[in-house]
Amino acid sequence: MTTASLRAAEPGGKTSPEVLGEWTTGTGNRLTLMARKGTGYASTWLNYRGQPVKIGYALHSGGVVRSVCWEEPWRDQTEAWKAEQRRQIAALIAAWHAEQPLPTKSDPLPASVIGTFDLDGFRFAVEPQVASEQALLSVLNVAGGLTPVADLLHDAGRICGMVTRPGWKSTPDDRKRHWRREAEAILTRAAEHGRL
110-125 pLDDT tens trace: 888 998 888 777 789 9
Q: Three-state SS for 134? A: strand
Out of 63-77, 96-110, 133-147, give the one with best mean pLDDT: 63-77
Q: How far apart are CA 117 and CA 81, in angstroms?
A: 11
- 54 close to 44: Cβ distance less than 8 angstroms: yes
Helix (H), strand (E) at residue 117 = strand 115-119
Query: At 26, which amino acid appears?
Result: G
Whole-number pLDDT of residue 49? 79
pLDDT tens-digit series, residues 14-51: 567 889 888 888 777 889 999 988 788 999 999 887 78
Enter the pTM of the model. 0.48
The answer to whether the CB of 179 falls within 8 A of the CB of 172 is: no
Task: Provide φ and ψ at 4, rounded to 5°.
Answer: -60, -40
- Cα–Cα distance, 120 to 41 (Å, whole number): 26
Residue type, 41: Y
- Distance (Å, whole) CA 35 – CA 56: 12
The arithmetic mean of pLDDT across residues 148-163, rounded, is 92
Q: What is the pLDDT of residue 74?
A: 85
Q: Which of 175, 120, 109, 179 is nearest to 151 (CA)?
A: 179
Q: How far apart (Å, rounded) are the C-alpha atoms in residues 154 and 161?
A: 7
What are the domain boundaries of the chain? 3-97, 115-192
Give 147's strand partners: 139
With CA atoms as reference, report the closest residue to 23 among 51, 40, 46, 2.
46
